Structure 1
Amino acid sequence: MPISFGFRPRDGDAAESCERSLVGACLVGQLRCGLAVVALTTGLAGCSQSGSSAGVSESDIVETTVPKVEVIRAADHLWPLTARIQGSLVGDEQAQIGARVAGRVESVTVDLGSRVATGDILAVLDQNEFALKVRLAQARVAQTRAALGLSEGQTRDDLAVDQVPSVRQEKALLDEAKALYDRSVTLAARNAITPEEFRRFEAQYQVARARHAAAINQVEELLAQYEGALADFDLARQEQADSIVRAPFDGIVAERFVAPGIYLAEGRPVVTLVRVDPLRYRAGVPERLAMNVALGQEVRIFLEGRDTPLIAQVTRISPSLDVLSRSLTIEADLPNPEGAYRAGLFAEAEIVIDPQARAVVLPAQAVSDFAGVEKVWMVQDGQAVGRPIQTGRREGHLVEIVSGLQVGDLVLAKAREGRGGPVQAVIAPAESSAPAVAAEPPARPPVQPRSAGVIIN
């Protein structure tokens, strides 16, 4: 059959075109025959050499073609059950410290970040007005003491009402009027005085009794005024003391609101004070695990920039769940004597719910993850087969197998070497086949995708 070179010959060149086609076909045929002869010669030489070699069985050929792979056996290991939560560090105490009295600010002794101890001065109000109030109240106390006849150092318990000068005077007049009245009674019985004179002595006696009672009432009134004056004096001194704003507890100033010269209204805050030793780690536990949380459980707190966790214990548990988040609020005290940790820091944590829980654990290199699908290469009857699995918590180079494997299953030690087909299994060294869960707290877990809220493993 003529070979066409992609163009049509003209009528005048028909003979020349046919000749060229025949020559091309002959050259292609000779080339194909030469290649066939070479292939046949090579095959015969290979067969001759194979036949002349020492006897090699078919099984030997299979063994050299089946790859050897290291395998490990899925085993049950100690893997404490934990709940991973998210929360923040908050101050043990945080309060806005305000002035209990109004006045002009004279000085402020602290600023942002200042460390204070209980009783340290935070701010001072103008003292002139408060000093005048104390002096006025003290003068009123002295006035009532003088009216009652109390000397310096005496109290109300030292006062006898009948010994007050005014009462003693009226008592003397009463005794005299009573004596005259008693005598007039005797004289009237003897008709020695007229009825008018008797009635006059009787009236004098009644007036003396009334004046004596009035004197006693006046003393009682003075005593009440004395108590009021003492209370006013104590109140004035209290206001003078309150004009100096002091720290109610040890802490650090988180915010300052006033400056010298401004008028401070009663109750207006001066500073925000935070106690940072200890700090409280506050977080929410999901409803499905709320019944498993108890006081005293270990909490591993992971802070950003710190590789090892901080160890604390659950110290407080809310009596009820949050209605919106359906989570149970817990707190753990975190000692902070040097002030190295700051209130407000975000932190992840793990609550050790069951320290004796066990699980199937494999090295992370035995698990492959592609396009969101996790699997291991399982070896059964000399065949490597991909097995989808579901993993759980990761700690260091270990990963928990939640489903897809059973204790005793053989899997490839290195998932990247996995492929389907026949394999020759070789048990990996002991350190690879029997991973141990460290007794010490694990390092910070790798960041994993999260939805929102609390992550539980």
Structure 2
Amino acid sequence: MRSSSAVAPRGERSCRRGRLRREREVIVAAGEGRGRSGRGSGCSGGAVSLDRGGAAGQCEGRAARPARVVLLTALFAAACTSAPVDAGKAAAGPQPRAVEVAEARAAPHPRILTLSGTLAALEKVQVAARVEGPITEVKVDLGDRVVREQELAAIRPIDYRARVSEVDASLAQAEIDVKRLESLGGVATQEELERARTRLAGAKAQRSQASRQLGDTTVRAPFAGAIAARHVAPGTYVKPGTALFDLVADDKLRLTVEVPERYAALVQVGTPATVTLKDSLVGEPGEAGRRSPRVRARSRPR
């Protein structure tokens, strides 16, 4: 038997010893069975010899049939051969997973409400007529941008100019009467002087009112913005309060949002907010500027 200088692993040596032991038992059992059967195919004396290398022994009579022995030996060899591979896989086990470690600390947890609202101009007014008369000229139209005190339309001023002239004459006469009575000294009574002074004050008031009405024949923009609607045309007869234009201040927009009652305590003046339009992916930062104290019935949970 050949000897090898290499030292086999412990598991491989034990597997080899087990295979040799099983081979010996199978060969001995086969020899004994053939001897008892009395047939010529087995060993005559029943004696079986094994060499040190574990090979099958020789019968003193005929040689035994090794088919069953070879089959069992192959099975034992396959079992021993696969054992180290399975043991290696089991020893490898699952691969370790990467774990991210973070320090636990207390931090505020923000609550975010997603609500829908309505955008509108910060200022919107309806410019109306202050005096009566026909429209003689319209100087702006829908979509035009205007500045503060810009002329929008004109109402016929002829009647109001005549009124100013009439009041001016009355005022001048009242001033003359007062000066004449004051120059008479003790001749004019105190009662006459007081009546003259009262007429002078009334004439001054009428002059101021007539001048204001004359100025109101020119319609002006109360603030800078854009014309959202035009309601009159040249020739339209208007009275005090008749709507002429809709004017909006579109440089700033106001978002009105209805907050459910259960979240009302979370929204205060100054609460930060992000406004995102329907077709936009980027929001604009802002904050809550006003908070209504009224609770609407439809915002309450049912």
* Pair 1:301–1:232, CA change in 2 (3 A): same
Post-superposition offset of 1:80: 2.6
Equivalent position of 2:151 in the other structure:
121
Could you report, residue by residue, the CA deviation over 1:277-296 in whole angstroms, capped at 9, with x for unpaired residues? 32111101111111122221
Within 1, Cα distance between the matches of 2:133 and 2:101?
A: 76
Within 2, Cα distance between the matches of 1:74 and 1:107?
A: 77
Q: Which has the higher contact order (CA 8 A, sep 6+)?
A: 1
Q: Would the aligned equivalents of 1:116 and 1:247 in 2 still touch at CA under 8 Å?
A: yes
Q: Would the aligned equivalents of 2:224 and 2:249 in 1 still touch at CA under 8 Å?
A: yes
Equivalent position of 1:86 in the other structure:
116
* Pair 1:97–1:50, CA change in 2 (3 A): farther
Post-superposition offset of 1:268: 0.6
Equivalent position of 1:245 in the other structure:
219
* Pair 1:59–1:237, CA change in 2 (3 A): farther
Q: Would the aligned equivalents of 1:164 and 1:219 in 2 still touch at CA under 8 Å?
A: no
Counterpart code for 1:301: V
Equivalent position of 1:192 in the other structure:
none
Counterpart code for 2:139: T
Within 2, Cα distance between the matches of 1:319 and 1:74?
A: 47
Matched, 1:284 2:273: no
Q: Would the aligned equivalents of 1:106 and 1:126 in 2 still touch at CA under 8 Å?
A: yes
Post-superposition offset of 1:91: 1.4
Q: Would the aligned equivalents of 1:130 and 1:239 in 2 still touch at CA under 8 Å?
A: yes
For 1:45-444, list aligned pairs within 5 A.
Answer: 51=79, 54-56=82-84, 58=86, 80-149=110-179, 163-165=182-184, 168=185, 171=186, 213=189, 216-326=190-300
Once superposed, what is the RMSD of the aligned Cα atoms? 3.2
Within 2, Cα distance between the matches of 1:303 and 1:49?
A: 76
Instruction: Describe the SS at the equivalent of 1:225.
Output: helix
Post-superposition offset of 1:224: 1.1
* Pair 1:120–1:74, CA change in 2 (3 A): farther
Within 2, Cα distance between the matches of 1:128 and 1:67?
A: 101
* Pair 1:58–1:90, CA change in 2 (3 A): same
* Pair 1:135–1:307, CA change in 2 (3 A): same
* Pair 1:122–1:74, CA change in 2 (3 A): farther
Within 2, Cα distance between the matches of 1:129 and 1:50?
A: 124
Q: Would the aligned equivalents of 2:259 and 2:299 in 1 still touch at CA under 8 Å?
A: no
Q: Would the aligned equivalents of 2:144 and 2:227 in 1 still touch at CA under 8 Å?
A: yes
Could you report, residue by residue, the CA deviation over 1:337-390 in whole angstroms, capped at 9, with x for unpaired residues? xxxxxxxxxxxxxxxxxxxxxxxxxxxxxxxxxxxxxxxxxxxxxxxxxxxxxx
Which has the larger Rg? 2
Equivalent position of 1:440 in the other structure:
none
Q: How many residues align?
A: 226
Counterpart code for 1:222: A
Within 2, Cα distance between the matches of 1:48 and 1:217?
A: 148
* Pair 1:141–1:301, CA change in 2 (3 A): same
Q: Tell me, which stretches of 5 or more residues in structure 1 are unaligned?
A: 1-43, 151-160, 173-211, 328-457
Post-superposition offset of 1:69: 11
Within 2, Cα distance between the matches of 1:260 and 1:47?
A: 114
Post-superposition offset of 1:164: 3.6
Post-superposition offset of 1:121: 1.0
Query: TM-score, structure 2 length as denominator?
Result: 0.65
Within 1, Cα distance between the matches of 2:167 and 2:232?
A: 30
Identity value in percent: 28
Instruction: Describe the SS at the equivalent of 1:321.
Output: coil
Post-superposition offset of 1:242: 0.9
Counterpart code for 1:141: L
Counterpart code for 1:123: A
* Pair 1:286–1:217, CA change in 2 (3 A): same
Query: TM-score, structure 1 length as denominator?
Result: 0.44
Counterpart code for 1:105: I
Q: Would the aligned equivalents of 1:298 and 1:314 in 2 still touch at CA under 8 Å?
A: yes
Q: Would the aligned equivalents of 2:122 and 2:252 in 1 still touch at CA under 8 Å?
A: yes
Higher strand share: 1
Within 2, Cα distance between the matches of 1:293 and 1:322?
A: 16
Instruction: Describe the SS at the equivalent of 1:239.
Output: helix
Counterpart code for 2:239: A
Within 2, Cα distance between the matches of 1:49 and 1:258?
A: 109
